[in-house]
Amino acid sequence: DTAVSQTPKYLVTQMGNDKSIKCEQNLGHDTMYWYKQDSKKFLKIMFSYNNKELIINETVPNRFSPKSPDKAHLNLHINSLELGDSAVYFCASSLLSTGELFFGEGSRLTVL
């Protein structure tokens, strides 16, 4: 039973396309996150939602739009994909009070 699951695991697409990555957690956590790990392996937070409310919104292009339909789900939609969007995107969840994040396996996005 996967605690934090994200789909798809691999995504290859052309520049200019729109794509979504979905994330679900079954840990009962109140906070969910999207991280981007770039080619230099740096983990950088993009968004964080606490009880469906956006609490962290880093300097990310408007082409990236998170959507949290409920506390257990946080999806990431990306419009007009660019080459520089190629990276591994990690979803994570936690209880805001503890700060211990549980990560999904990552979704490797390749933009051609």
Partner 1 sequence: DQQVKQNSPSLSVQEGRISILNCDYTNSMFDYFLWYKKYPAEGPTFLISISSIKDKNEDGRFTVFLNKSAKHLSLHIVPSQPGDSAVYFCAARDAGNNRKLIWGLGTSLAVNP
Judged by CB under 8 A, which of 8, 100, 110, 112 binds partner 1?
100
Judged by CB under 8 A, which of 26, 43, 51, 84 binds partner 1?
43
Distance CA 94, CA 28 (A): 9
Residue 90 is a binding residue for partner 1 (CB under 8 A): yes
Distance CA 112, CA 106 (A): 19
Judged by CB under 8 A, which of 12, 15, 27, 55 binds partner 1?
55
Distance CA 60, CA 47 (A): 9
With residue 92 as reference, give the H or E element that holds it. strand 87-94
Q: Which residues contribute to the site for partner 1 (CB under 8 A)? A: 4, 40-45, 48, 55-56, 90, 92, 96, 99-106
